[in-house]
Amino acid sequence: MNIVVIGTGYVGLVSGTCFSEMGNKVTCVDIDTTKIENLNKGIIPIYEPGLEPMVVKNTTNKNLFFTTNLASALQNAEVVFIAVGTPMGDDGSADLQYVLAVAKSIGQAITKKMVIVDKSTVPIGTADKVTATIQKELDKRDLKVEFEVVSNPEFLKEGAAINDFMKPDRVVIGAESDYAIEKMKQLYAPFSMSHERFIVMDVRSAEMTKYAANAMLATKISFMNEIANICEKVGADANQVRIGIGSDSRIGYNFIYPGCGYGGSCFPKDVKALKKIASEYDYHAKLITSVEEVNDAQKLVIAHKIIKRFGEDLHGKTFGIWGLAFKPGTDDMREAPAIYIVKELVKRGAKIQAYDPKAMQEAQEFYLKDVNQVIYVDSKYQALQQADAMILLTEWKEFRSPDFEEIKKLLNNPVIFDGRNQYNMFNLADKGFEYYQIGRAER
């Protein structure tokens, strides 16, 4: 099938590449000339395990193409995916300017029947706006072309996106016509052989499904963090409580790990957007609002533990940080707890020595570029040299089973603040450490 994917960000690039892997002819379109030039050279703008070799392989095999020329790309297209960004506006709503700009460009260029797919995470009712925008441009051209706008939300986890796309839990399609549904079935057949995983619904329900899914997962995280905070007060251990409730099949273990809060490009943005959508329909989403409030506070729990231990004035103190990305397997630092913790410590006079396997460039160039008291180092142990404490904020594999004797030698004080509860099974108190974690009072 001939496919066009508009937008070569995280969702667009992964989707286009995976479609090409199944033998489709995929053209990815972007207005960023430099990005397209780099992609044609095999230079990938994001870090995602397995993505780069798949891009190189399919460009070599002539299944995957990159261009800035949308009109040319649309000439033979059967299905067109809109996968541009929907950044969060000042009021928490999803900004549709890029989606609607693409819709306008499609309306100015299409000449044949096609299915147009909203792949970006968009507010309920966006398909109607995209349809109206395309039709307006066709009317200006005095041209009658059949098209249908379909909703096909993505459910990709950063760090596991290739596997998620190639072996999906479900494929959700919001469509009105048999033609569009059949076209999407044909496209996704190689990925989802089970009929139960191909779920068809109306367009607005599909648009809502993405927000509901992310809000549910964010709710589980905030719920467990709230329980963890209560555990600290009453003398319980949140890690043991997690095992106790996770064994209930109705609850399960996924997304109930105590920690320093969720971040990334999806959960924070989608929770805010869903809250905004509800308010536009005169509904106050109390639970969703609380989920966000708990998470905002949770990002500073580790910072508060450090301040309690070392005092409000942190001048002369140095902290070694392991992990900057919001989760392992990605270089994404959007809304990462590390941003808030580093800034909270630095404004009190602390110096930071930071190491992350993938996210340090992001930190230096974007998220912490204006924070002067941060030094970026080449290894996890270098970050601990002459530091007053170690802080774990991202659970990368290389951090999971470190040499604690080496850590003790490097630190000025044998103190560890564990924002991901990775080391609670190591009996660090017996090894001579002060060990601070989420959901358990210091002992």
- Catalytic residue flag (residue 231): no
SS (H, E, C) the chain: CEEEEECCCHHHHHHHHHHHHCCCEEEEECCCHHHHHHHHCCCCCCCCCCHHHHHHHHHHCCCEEEECCHHHHHCCCCEEEECCCCCECCCCCECCHHHHHHHHHHHHHCCCCEEEEECCCCCCCHHHHHHHHHHHHHHHCCCCCCEEEEECCCCCCCCCHHHHHHCCCCEEEECCCHHHHHHHHHHHCCCCCCHHHEEEECHHHHHHHHHHHHHHHHHHHHHHHHHHHHHHHHCCCHHHHHHHHHCCCCCCCCCCCCCCCCCCCCHHHHHHHHHHHHHHCCCCCHHHHHHHHHHHHHCCHHHHHHHHHHCCCCCCCEEEEECCCCCCCCCCCCCCHHHHHHHHHHCCCCEEEEECCCCHHHHHHHHCCCCCCEEECCCCCHHHCCCCEEEECCCCHHHCCCCHHHHHHHCCCCEEEECCCCCCCCCHHHHCCEEEECCECCC
Catalytic hit among 18, 231, 260, 266: 266
Catalytic residues: 266
